[in-house]
Structure 1
Amino acid sequence: MNKLNTISENDENDSIQKALCDVANHQDKKAFEILFKHFSPKIRAFGLQRFRQEAQALELVQETMLLVWRKATLFNAEKGKATTWIYTIMRNHCFDMLRKKMTQKEDQVSDDLWPMLEDEEVIEEDHLLSRNLIAHINSLPKPQRDVVEALYIKELSQPEVASLLKIPLGTVKSRLRLALSKLKTTLEVDHD
């Protein structure tokens, strides 16, 4: 039984590698169709596990397979299996999507926060700094306050803040999310 599984696995790997080489060398659409039919259900399942949303899982399938089509000439059979190469493209694109999703969440929280302050008195010629906001920033726990001040007052990038405060970049992002969420809640209460 194991021999049969090994043989069929080897045949499958060979046919995938041949299809990928045909896409790379001849832009063979039939070969690409073979790859798409084989990998799309697996990529979709991986995407559903990561994103828990059908639309994003399908976007992962589409973008991964598009990258496979475009980058097929970069595949080198001597360096590894075709399946490994395709799954690496999938994982890398998935990480890109997750990073983008996290950045959008942070941007939405900060975008929701700053418009609330547009009617208030502005100091130091910076429309983001109002007396009310400064008071609320000062009421944050010190680790969160340090991150907010470094990002929005000193205008440092997140990696620069991580270096300045000697903390991991992920910690900067977590503290920023917590701080912006607290500020938003506090300012919404004040604004009502």
Structure 2
Amino acid sequence: MDSVETTYNSSNLRRSSQRSMLSPSPEQLAELLHLVAEDRDEHAFSQLFTYFAPKVRAYGMRHLRADGQAMELVQETMILVWRKAHLYDGSKGAASTWVFTIMRNVSFDMLRKVKSNREDCLSGDIWPLIEGEEGDQEDEALQDQIQQQLLSYIDLLPDLQQQVVRGVYLKQLTHQELADQLNVPLGTIKSRLRLGLQKLRSHLEVNDD
């Protein structure tokens, strides 16, 4: 629906950020997505927008570091939610996980346009996937859910790439510390990390589709 692309603009985002809304349950979010997919229900989409827009904008502000780009992230993410709602499969995960997967992929594409293809560009958009505010139990639960999903994909990486990804992102080792620990050149660590992150992104995109 073309009107979705123009109706939910920056002014809608500001209003939705200010509007109080009881937090819907995972089941309710899934039902709203179902209504959008099956009936192209604009009211259901409006509820999804109201719930997700402030969260997506907050993510955009942290990762893209510009209000205009954060709002663009909201716009592009929610347009894709409208267009791809029929692809959501509740048996594969929560509605929130699905929406934030779309958000992350849009964010990655935006970063790729303005940054060189470095491993920090890749990792900044993949890990962590969502950063909950301290004390926000809902966001903490979502973070845990998405990290568990990502950990399952790390298990699919080749052993050497898995070793580096785990060392950097789970053990919090620097690239140099990991190179010293594994007794390999620093460039080897960076190369394995870049390849591992690229494969992680491929797994995530397949899951999104």
TM-score (norm 2): 0.45
After TM superposition, the score normalised by the length of structure 1 is 0.49
